[in-house]
Structure 1
Amino acid sequence: MQEHYGSSQASQQAGAVTFFGFLSFFPILALSFFVVGVVSRFYPEANANLRTAIDSVLPGFLGPPDGVSLKDIRTFSGWAAVIGVLGVLYSGLGWLSALRIALVKVFETPEKEQPNFVVGKLRDLVTLGTIGLVLLVSVALTGVVSGFSDAVLGLLHLGSQLAWLVVLVTIVVGLVANTVLFFALFRLLAEPHTPRRSLVQGSLLGAVGFEVLKQLSGVLLASTKQQPAFQAFGIALILLVWINYFTRVVLYAASFAHTSAEARAQRVAEPATPVEGPPSPPLSARAAQELADVPVAGAPQRPWLGPFAAGGAAALGLVALVRRRSHD
């Protein structure tokens, strides 16, 4: 896996993805505020779900629940929409395109004809929305399962004795949700010819790495809050490093899935698709004659035969001339 990760230049690909990912984070966040501002008119819990989704990716990034970052979303959702849409159209879709290129290279997916600019951007926008929807649904499901577990334990008066069980269930559900997220990334972006089981195994590995990365980022973000020197740049630097390492986790998981025993066996069993090109043009009369003069491959070549015959004929002529003079 490590050899394939290095040969596919995944670290360099992660750098390109990090550039667009850092630029696209805040526009995507602004666009999310706009969507939540609209949805919250009909679904009041949308604000809490958005906060939970952001905290699940970057714990401690947002302020307290009554902070400025999520306050009055409905009031400023119009400006957030303008900023978010313009930013997403450039940086957000650029991040998605860079991540797609990296995953295609890791999975060694055969190149296919790319759509035109407008169709390609619309496809990337739909893919970005689908990935965001998967993240929100998985976060909401995790919250529902955790709340349901708390309610059941409270009903049975076992909250203090089995509190660890709620934590365990929450972690397991979170891993399942992250696995679904990684699987969606692989399928929607790279469309690899890799067995489903290998993709699930790679997605599970990515989910575990993602969970570890979230915990580390939460600790780092919490440490910067008490140090004024890091207030200006601490969060931005941590966010930049986090995006880079998240991309590396994605590419490591993809390398693991691509180099699994089942995936290698499938690539050996499947013959390579023959390359099909346009039909050859008809040969002209001159080209046909030149082709006919070319010796057939495998036929014995005797370049000495012509000069040898000419020399033999000259020798015979010389002998005949000498005999004639001797008779005279």
Structure 2
Amino acid sequence: MSRSSPAASLQAVVTELRVRHDWFDHLVRAGARYHERRGNHFAAAITFFSILNVVPLLMIAYATAGYVLVLNPALLAALDAALARAVPPELSDTVDPVVDAAIEQRNTVAGLGLLAALWAGTWWMFNLREAVSAQWAIPPRSAVSLWRLLSDVAALAGLWFAVIGSLAISAVGTSLGETVLWALGWPAADWSQFTRGGLALLLSLAADWLILFWVLTRLPRTRRRIHGAGRAALLGAIGLEVLKQGLAIYLSRITGSPGGTIFGTVFGLLVFAYLVSRFVLFMTAWAATARENWCGLTP
């Protein structure tokens, strides 16, 4: 009597689970779509342009600091006094020129930073849109099309609005939550750490959901109506929170030495960006392989 191979037995188990559990069948379909549509390769491209965007964003932050300091002399004086107390005298000649340069070169740095951010951000958005569109089996679009360029710039602006909206939700929600608890007679001093953490977690989930819902519904280059995007965005928001908590734990563990702080932080952020890119693409594959959206697409 012949015995089945381990691979055949595993295949039989997977087939039985797919028949019995719709969620497991959906998971298998999403995983197959992700790998067939080169999810890992697209995630690597998104990560590269994400890291590339850090430089112009730092330039903008540097220029913004210069504008803030020049428009607020009191803050500039306080910063100079704080640096004088914190920095040894032999390093003051090195640190002071940095502050002066941030003020004097703010216009040049801001202009170059904005141009670089627009260029790198547009290519980042192009790769992101091509990646999420690939999960919908949509053919790639020409990278030299003027319409493509304008469309990606508009999508980049839309993403910034979504990010600003998510930050507003966190800020307003926190203030509103504090007001409600205070009105109920629960002073802020009596709040437990669990209460504060729970409120912060809920607001963070809401912000993540808003961004992911926008990514799932607006970035794919398709006119197809996307069903179940809200559920996929909710699952994605939960997964992103898990990844962020993992990053926080990792960063807290590697700050014990200067080398770990520098190289470990860079490595952690790089891995985090790659994992987030893969996770977003997998959630797109999850949405694309939902029963409602699966008509005419390769499983």
Q: Which amino acid aligns with 2:159?
A: I
Match of 1:176 in 2: 206
Match of 1:131 in 2: 159
Cα distance, 1:253–1:126 mapped onto 2, change above 3 Å: same
Question: What is the TM-score of this pair, normalised by structure 1?
Answer: 0.62
* TM-fit CA distance, 1:145: 1.0
* TM-fit CA distance, 1:186: 2.6
* TM-fit CA distance, 1:87: 2.5
Counterpart secondary structure, 1:190: coil
Q: Distance in 2 between matches of 1:102 and 1:83?
A: 28
* TM-fit CA distance, 1:239: 1.5
* TM-fit CA distance, 1:35: 6.8
Contact 2:250 2:268 in 1 (8 A): yes
Q: Tell me the alpha carbon deviations over residues 198-238 of structure 1, each in whole angstroms, 9 at most, x when there is no partner.
A: 22222122211111111111222222322212233222211
209-218 or 74-83, which deviates more? 74-83
RMSD: 3.4
Cα distance, 1:161–1:174 mapped onto 2, change above 3 Å: closer
Fraction of identical pairs, as percent:
24
Match of 2:228 in 1: 198
Residue 48 of structure 2 is aligned to residue 19 of structure 1 = yes
Contact 2:46 2:124 in 1 (8 A): yes
Cα distance, 1:175–1:97 mapped onto 2, change above 3 Å: same
Q: Distance in 2 between matches of 1:253 and 1:91?
A: 25
Contact 1:24 1:88 in 2 (8 A): yes
Q: Tell me the alpha carbon deviations over residues 90-138 of structure 1, each in whole angstroms, 9 at most, x when there is no partner.
A: 43222211111111111123566x5855554343233223212211221
145-154 or 118-127, which deviates more? 118-127
Alignment partner for residue 186 of structure 2, among 147, 150, 158?
158
Match of 1:229 in 2: 259
Equivalent residues in 2 for 1:107-146, closer than 5 Å: 107-109=136-138, 114=142, 116-146=144-174
Q: Distance in 2 between matches of 1:37 and 1:119?
A: 36
State the aligned residue count: 239
Equivalent residues in 2 for 1:1-328, closer than 5 Å: 1-31=30-60, 75=103, 77-109=106-138, 114=142, 116-159=144-187, 160=190, 164-193=194-223, 195-264=225-294, 267-268=295-296
Q: Tell me the alpha carbon deviations over residues 56-87 of structure 1, each in whole angstroms, 9 at most, x when there is no partner.
A: xxxxxxxxxxxx9xx99984643442342242
Match of 1:300 in 2: none
Question: What is the TM-score of this pair, normalised by structure 2?
Answer: 0.67
Cα distance, 1:32–1:107 mapped onto 2, change above 3 Å: farther
Q: Which amino acid aligns with 1:31?
A: I
List alignment gaps of at least 5 residues for structure 1: 43-67, 271-328
Contact 2:251 2:265 in 1 (8 A): yes
Q: Tell me the alpha carbon deviations over residues 215-270 of structure 1, each in whole angstroms, 9 at most, x when there is no partner.
A: 11122222232221223322221121111011011101101101112212xx15x9
Greater share of residues in helix: 2
Contact 2:130 2:140 in 1 (8 A): no
Higher relative contact order (CA closer than 8 Å, sequence separation 6+): 2
204-213 or 191-200, which deviates more? 191-200
Contact 1:149 1:166 in 2 (8 A): no
Q: Which amino acid aligns with 1:94?
A: W
* TM-fit CA distance, 1:195: 4.2
148-157 or 76-85, which deviates more? 76-85
Q: Mark the structure with the bigger radius of gyration.
A: 1
8-17 or 223-232, which deviates more? 223-232
List alignment gaps of at least 5 residues for structure 2: 1-29, 72-95
